[in-house]
Amino acid sequence: MTQHTHDGGTHQHGDQQGRLNLHEDAGNAVDMWDGMYRERSKIWSGNPNPQLVAEAGNLPLGTALDLGCGEGGDAIWLARKGWRVTAVDVSSVALERGAAHAAENGQEERITWQQQDLAEWTPEPVFDLVSAQFLHSPLLPWQDSTAKAAAAVAPGGTLLIVGHHPHGLAPWSHHHESDMFYTPEELAEALDLKTGPWTVEVLEARERTIESPEGTPATILDTVLRATKNA
């Protein structure tokens, strides 16, 4: 089985864990992502993503949807803040780890874990916050996943999308030609932010310093969007 290294910029919440081996010939998203998660007992740091902390820390509490939640670091951080969280991922391996981690942290009551493939499933448009952090997959066009994220925001709610910027990937990335990543301008156009029901609070390419697994520092760019859906 060939393996592909997905290391667009190491979005391991600022830590130095290794690169991701995506089994792209697995044929479906469940096998591909379960395979990636099974390679190690823990892939992510467990810490929340820095742009989530920066952008969601002062929002009024309510219901949150974390799309592509992985092992649950963001969902647990949101729950601790007081959100009621629906955490969705295609990988049951990741979700089981998230649920276990939430129980260890006393947050199991506030988080519902759901296995769904966003290629086929559409969330209800009811959430006060929809967060999609680095929801990059070779089997899921970012235009589709971000559109579903936007549609899931309730009127008055917040959309928070964070992804790797294609011109600000880690130097060691193997994905410099990948179409999995997007600029703020591409995201704004795909989501029709100018003419749609949105008040855009943040739309930018934001620098972040990371380290390779070997400890080499690099500055990468995150595409960050925070917008409110007009009521």
Ligand X SMILES: C[S@@+](CC[C@H](N)C(=O)[O-])C[C@H]1O[C@@H](n2cnc3c(N)ncnc32)[C@H](O)[C@@H]1O
Of 112 and 197, CB closest to ligand X:
112
44 binds ligand X, rule: CB under 6 A = yes
Among 7, 89, 128, 222, binds ligand X (CB under 6 A): 89
77 binds ligand X, rule: CB under 6 A = no
117 binds ligand X, rule: CB under 6 A = yes
Closest CA to 133 of 107, 108, 159, 152: 159
Among 9, 35, 46, 70, binds ligand X (CB under 6 A): 70
Which residues lie across from 22 on neighbouring strands?
4
Of 43 and 188, CB closest to ligand X:
43
126: amino acid identity, one letter? V
119 binds ligand X, rule: CB under 6 A = yes
Cα distances from 152 to residues 7, 41, 94, 125, 218, in angstroms, run 28, 31, 22, 4, 34
22 binds ligand X, rule: CB under 6 A = no
208 binds ligand X, rule: CB under 6 A = no
Closest CA to 135 of 49, 61, 208: 49
- Annotate 53-81 with b (16+ C-beta within 10 A) or e (fewer): ebbbeebeebebbbbbbbbbbbbbbbbeb
Residues that bind ligand X (CB under 6 A): 11, 29, 33, 44, 49, 68-70, 89-91, 94, 116-119, 133-137, 140
